[in-house]
Structure 1
Amino acid sequence: MMPLKDLYQGFRQPDVVKALAGKIAQRAAGLEKPLYIMEVCGGHTHTIMKYGLKQLLPDNLQFVHGPGCPVCIMPKERIDQAIALARLPGVVLVTLGDMIRVPGSKSTLAQCRAEGGNVEAIYDPMDVLKIARNNPDKQVVYFAIGFETTTPMTAVLVECAEQQQLDNLFFHINHVLVMPAMEAVLAGGESPINAFIGPSHVSVISGAKIYQPIIDNYRVPLVVGGFEPVDVLESVLMLVEQAVSHQVALQLQYSRAATYAGNEAAQSQVDRVFDIREQFNWRGLGNIPHSALQLKPALRHRDAEVKFAGHFTHIDTPDHKQCRCGDILKGLATPQECKVFGKACKPNRPMGSCMVSSEGACNAYYRYADRC
């Protein structure tokens, strides 16, 4: 069996990449109009920028960066709630590392921790259970984020907390759904998007089936693509072939890991723990109905928004006026069209979430600026 490192190196072979780029250019010459391809996931954005894939494509093919980074779309008021929790006596706020530096309305969790707030950054979500067991005199709150990819893990944590009777463990749920965001981008009427590269890791869990409404209702083709350079270019070629032949279809390039049905065991796990939330405010996109999750009524005793309701304010706070994260997340602007990009806004002092996150479009453009 081929070692994984050799297998994945095969998806980065320069000769394969160049051959695909040549075939794309040849086929794209037959396009009747330009393709504006939104790669929804930030992982795709970083692959595109890191390997200089933009420069390999003809001018009538353009990448547009989408709202598929869970850190980037987290609104300031949710960060403010996390900060409020971390400042409460006897509370430990636990979250994934990327969230630490995302700006709220006045501060970040990193600043909160420096000022004495009890903030624990983790990389393995299972550590939440250990923290709760090791601090029986504390109220531990897990600030859970992510799309369908990470939601099953939080569902496991909730069920483990119930089974282990960890009565001091609570959950601030910020899990969001990719399809409502994609539909919001299309429904606004402003975006030029006429093709999608669908998120691969989300699709492993949810299955490619969730994207069928994009094809049926909006007549926009979608290819679920992997994250390697060859994956991305194969996905682009599939989209070009559809456009040239006047087809609109849902296709699966990432067939080595994703299926049409998805991981049904993980879907059942999520369904046992979560319900759809009526509204959720997305950074840059605004309130999107039925676009996020919340704990089921039987599990509300673990819901931090219920447990600590009196300590929160619910004020929608817009981004800095000069920050164009919202437009970037909707595909209406590139990072380089933002006046503060690379100047007042850099990874070491970000003004917006698109620069903070390791999956953010601004972070990708700044990191690989010499390849833009």
Structure 2
Amino acid sequence: MKRKALFAVLALLGLLMVFSWPSYQLPPRKELRLKANYLVRVISTPPGLDSELTRLTQENAEWGLFTLSYSVYAFTNMARLDSSFRAEAATSTQLAIRRMLSGPVAQAFRDPDVAEGADTISSVLYLGHLNLMLGCHRLLYPASPYRALHDSLSASLHRRLVAAPRHCLHSYPGGVWVPDNTVALASLQLHSDLTGSSYQAFCRQWVAYARQHLTDPRTGLLLSKPATRHQEAEEPCGSHLGWSIFFLYRCDPAFAAEQYRRYQQHFSTNFGPIRLYRERAGSYETSLGDIDSGPLVLGYSIPANAFAFGNAVALGDGRNAQRLRRVISIGSREITEGDELHYGVRFVDLSVSPMAEALLLHAETMTPWQNKPH
């Protein structure tokens, strides 16, 4: 009996080794194209009450914004990985920018008392993503008609960030979040890569400042919110950290890698074949969470794990990326319809929102962008 028990234990350990060892591999080109087709259709559908993008934006303006922005980032990743996709990525990106500038998303962030135009919006959440999308289009298509807007918006963001308390701008009146500001930083870095502008120097200065003033003393991780006269500082949160690392990777890969290591150390548990990330360090609560984290089960949240997956892909941690991809696969099922592929929730008849599809495609294709001055 003892030998049988020992054999069973060794067999189990062997299986755990087998399942935990393989490294993440990029999905096949055909599969990625099918996923991109789904997002292109969502973006291409004219705004209206029956549009998925419109419905999503009406439910939450951020969800519509992130559907557009993360689709563009995913298309840019794919074009970097497969040059034959570049022209299609540029066309789809231009359409997404048009939706950002004049559709329901822009209306949701615009001050209704100010005249029409992107400069009537002060939210760094909207402007940071818009500017990064403009940079992506310029990267994909150097003759982009948005070059002048990209230059002026980059100059405006840089000027405002330099002057802002804590070098962070508000997303909503009185509400300042660090992760939203990392998007603006990435957009300034991309502008420098494309044009030779000096904004990359400020990105380095911001990181140096963040190390001293925007990190938690205990973990060394970026705060979710800095202290301002309108708000108290908020501790690091998993969903915010994973988000910030996405964009720090674009402007300071070394700092992104450092934050990723600390995030893994303080927020995750390795179960062998899978690894799970918590929303808050040392917290094991089960609750409905908040709008960013979603429901928490023993402290673990879906966004924390999904974003950590993209972080692992970006930073070349293939084994951890594969562990996290397994977590995503456990709860999802693929649905192929015509020339499109999207996801549903496993075991129940629930669809996955276009925003989640865009976030996942971006995460699984994370790669450096080919940034050369033009």
Normalised TM-score (structure 1): 0.25
Structure with the larger helix share = 2
Normalised TM-score (structure 2): 0.25
Structure with the larger strand share = 1
